[in-house]
Structure 1
Amino acid sequence: MDTTPAQAARQELTGFKGQLIGPDDSGYAEARTVYNAMIDRRPALVARCTGPEDVARVVGFARDHGLPLAVRGGGHHGAGLGTCDDGVVIDLSPLKDVEVDPEARTVRVGGGCLLGEVDRATHEHGMATPSGIISTTGVGGITLGGGIGHLTRKCGLTIDNLLEAELVLASGEKVRASADENADLHWAIRGGGGNFGVVTSFLFRLHEVSTVVAGPTFWPVELGAEVLSAYRDFLPKAPRELNGFFLFASVPPGPPFPEEIHLRKVCGVVWCRVGDDAEAAAAEMAPLLDALPAPLVHGPAPMPHPAIQSAFDGIYPPGDQWYWRADFVNEIPDGAVALHARFGAEMPTWKSTMHMYPIDCAVHDHAPGDTAWSYRDSRWASVFAGVDPDPANAEIIKRWSVDYSEALHPFSAGGAYVNMMMDEGQERVRASYRDNYARLARIKAAYDPGNLFRLNQNIEPATPALA
């Protein structure tokens, strides 16, 4: 009988301290599951690693056996790039250490941490580092792709606050990447995704963020064009302390929303204003509200920063069907507004949504070549997400997302935020890195010449002739 990869791993990975799970093990069904239930892959081995030494052993095992290798932090990626069929999954979930240094204003985070775990630890010291908007998301994936969220306008992308990282390379070597050590690698991992190694630890800069004024303002979806037009003119002029992303959504069927508007389709803004000054926040939001009819709901209020960070968790638990597309946007002309209003009104399920995240202010403090994340000159990142718990609706939500994104793509900047892309091909990856792609390919050739880390938005190693 042929030896399975799981059996071979148990024989060969001497000194491995974590857990090796194969298809015949009782915990396999749970171990192979990722956030998006549309992804149903069956890896030959899931290796839950306890630290860099475990990771290095598994990297070497996959490399030496010629097996596909996926790396999973939180497992949220829409395309399921944290898992694979018939290969090896490095599961970083045991790497949960969070160490806050209040004096240095830094936090060191294990590669398996979730955003909420970091938010809670830093909040105890009245600080935060910018990240995403669903607290069950893995720190590793969102960071390596860029990191857009509620604090973007004030504090920048997550990668703008990444001071250093510890990685395991394709060779099994353990290295540190910072401005002073392996600076080329530090440049590449700030937006270049998981192409260059397995990050086992991150060191982030912290900002004084404790209480925020946050919450949604919703208008009827029929006002979509009017609200979006007003928003596109208002938001770029707002102070950088005020973040607000535009969305089409349906009102969640529960508190704090009035029962009479539960499941009603709406458009609106989800606000997050840094600081506890509700009067200042109201004054900053006023120009938008004054330009529009009275909203159905206007809910911004002072709250702890982790509260807004986790506000979407209950709406989007693991196990839903997801299909999303994305684009960067420089301008939102009237033609784009009309299309948004049309597709927003046609959301096929109550969990389906479109978000348009602002990426100006602090993001624009950096040049496109300062990090691998090249779209510093764009104004918004849009995502079109079809979501529903019922597998029977998978094709419906996919079709809406694809049709919506393809209709709006002619108005886009060309590329997309890699964390919100599906598996859309190499041309799309190149478009999303633009002029930075060639440099990324050279760095890839230096650190992963065999493209072991290819189950991602892949950057192919430069050939010698091109390097």
Structure 2
Amino acid sequence: MTTSTDTLDALRGAVRGTVVTPGDPSYEKSRRVYNALHDRRPAVVVHAVDAGDVIAAVRHAREHGLPLAVRGGAHSVAGFGTVDDGLVVDLSPMREVRVDPEARTARAGGGATWGDFDHATHAFGLAGTGGVISTTGVAGLTLGGGMGHLARRYGLSCDNLTGAEVVTADGTFVSCDAERRPDLFWALRGGGGNFGVVTEFRYRLHPLTEVFGGLTCYPLDPAVISAWYEAVTAAPEELNIIMVLALGPEEPFLPERWHGRPVCAAFTCSSGPPAGDGRTLALLDALGPVVGRFMERMPYPVINTIFDEQLPAGLHHYWKGNFSRGLSAGAAAAHAEYGATMPTMESDTALFPIDGACHRTGPEETAFAYRDADVSHSFGATWTDPSGTAANVAWTRAYDAALRPHTEAGGYVNFMDTDDQDRVRVNYRQNYARLREVKRRYDPDNVFRLNQNVVP
């Protein structure tokens, strides 16, 4: 449906933020999202500055039959932060992060990025489990689960969530935590954007100022991938290593003969004391022949910016994701096979360890269901030229087909694309029925359906 001039004027009168429609000077900028694969044209974009704006936008979309998209950091690879001919609630003006250093807690607006969060918390010598790209939105990452450098030590982002403020499908503003609306609080911790617009997140924080981190590169070899898994799962929880498969970056720490060649890169973050740095280097040396290395002590926020320059907004992305218990020789071989044919310099595979503290939360304590998984597999193509879309999508799908026999039925919802709706039930497995009950309670008409959708 369309929105008339009169109804748009009413919407503008109801919000303090900006209402943008086609033809406005800022429309082209307002409609853009991180993944350029999703070139959509909303009927209206509401840049919300507070919860009142969100309430008005949700009610407007419902009253006028407009599909509703919610945009936090705009990083949704599946493009759920935008929609053709609908209404986008853009939370990017709501980026404030307030820290209580005595309580070791933080309150983050729904539009905050992990860069915003790191900046605010680091000033007090505190940190939380966030993403590995600083421009990632706090909202999308947390609602899907949230894997990052501190997950083995402190759990997923959603495990550190202590409460939230939410605008539900009927435009009602509610707070939830372990005591108030515990059903909604449970569902938000891994259940994605199915249940409302989260305008504020509340987190517990942990003392941390600096880490020992960086990249160590090896030739692409399934033996290196297998050695990584054995080493990281046996290591102290303060040591996190994400195994990245990519084409060698054109960086000074990597010899020129390895530029553009397939490599394994151990993306390392040790949150322990400096006395353990030597042991970390020895562990990395044992994984395989080192062909390049950049490792140093750095402020914790810096580790989350290392890939920012390589992955700016405006590229085309198509991803897939799977979980596995253990890492079989077959999985390592599949990764090495497709790592050898990585289609572009921007493409990569990332294998996240999700053991340690992630396993100390039970499989039904939050909506994030795969508490018995040890590895989260993220892989897919990233490219610049739109004409390469068909080939890059086909490569990613072939990769997925090759890996599926060696992984679980489900995967991490934040790594899924728009064509993965048939996997929603297995992604949530034992928690799916409970998620449907919560969905029926808070969104029976499926207003929030632009996501990995739990159908009421």
| TM-score in same-fold range (> 0.5) | yes
In the alignment, which residue of structure 1 is the partner of 2:413?
A: 418
Distance in structure 2 (CA, Å) of the matches to 1:276 and 1:135: 24
SS at match of 2:217: strand
Distance in structure 1 (CA, Å) of the matches to 2:384 and 2:11: 40
Aligned with 1:289 (options 285, 298, 306): 285
In the alignment, which residue of structure 2 is the partner of 1:235?
A: 232
Higher alpha-carbon deviation: 330-339 or 205-214: 330-339
Distance in structure 1 (CA, Å) of the matches to 2:9 and 2:250: 48
Contact 2:11–2:56 (Cα < 8 Å) also in 1: no
2:345 matches 1:316: no
Contact 2:241–2:353 (Cα < 8 Å) also in 1: yes
Distance in structure 1 (CA, Å) of the matches to 2:196 and 2:71: 12
Distance in structure 2 (CA, Å) of the matches to 1:336 and 1:275: 30
Higher alpha-carbon deviation: 328-337 or 9-18: 9-18
SS at match of 1:299: strand
1:88 to partner: Cα distance: 0.4
2:362 matches 1:362: no
2:396 matches 1:396: no
Distance in structure 2 (CA, Å) of the matches to 1:6 and 1:79: 31
SS at match of 2:245: strand
2:348 matches 1:349: no
Aligned with 2:276 (options 276, 280, 287): 280
Distance in structure 2 (CA, Å) of the matches to 1:312 and 1:273: 17
- Cα deviation, 1:169-223, whole Å, max 9, x if unaligned, reads 11111100101111110000000011111000011110111100001110122xx
- Cα deviation, 1:376-408, whole Å, max 9, x if unaligned, reads 100010011201222222222212211111110
In the alignment, which residue of structure 2 is the partner of 1:50?
A: 49
1:427 to partner: Cα distance: 2.8
1:85 to partner: Cα distance: 0.6
Distance in structure 2 (CA, Å) of the matches to 1:229 and 1:421: 25
In the alignment, which residue of structure 1 is the partner of 2:263?
A: 266
1:271 to partner: Cα distance: 0.3
Query: Could you say if the C-alpha distance between residues 393 and 144 of structure 1 is closer, same or farther in structure 2, counting changes exceeding 3 Å?
Result: same
Contact 1:6–1:22 (Cα < 8 Å) also in 2: no
- Cα deviation, 1:224-280, whole Å, max 9, x if unaligned, reads 212012112222111100000111112222445444433332112100000341x41
Distance in structure 2 (CA, Å) of the matches to 1:394 and 1:105: 45
Distance in structure 1 (CA, Å) of the matches to 2:208 and 2:11: 47
- Cα deviation, 1:71-129, whole Å, max 9, x if unaligned, reads 00011111101111110000001101111110000011111111101101111111111
Distance in structure 1 (CA, Å) of the matches to 2:420 and 2:214: 37
Name the aligned partner's letter for residue 84 of structure 2: D
1:15 to partner: Cα distance: 3.0
1:371 to partner: Cα distance: 0.1
In the alignment, which residue of structure 2 is the partner of 1:333?
A: 328
SS at match of 1:81: coil
Contact 2:3–2:64 (Cα < 8 Å) also in 1: no
Distance in structure 1 (CA, Å) of the matches to 2:3 and 2:177: 39
SS at match of 1:300: strand
RMSD between aligned residues: 1.5
In the alignment, which residue of structure 2 is the partner of 1:23?
A: 22
Name the aligned partner's letter for residue 353 of structure 1: D
Distance in structure 2 (CA, Å) of the matches to 1:291 and 1:275: 20
User: What 5-or-longer segments of structure 2 have no aligned partner?
Assistant: none
**1:61-100 aligned within 5 A:** 61-100=60-99
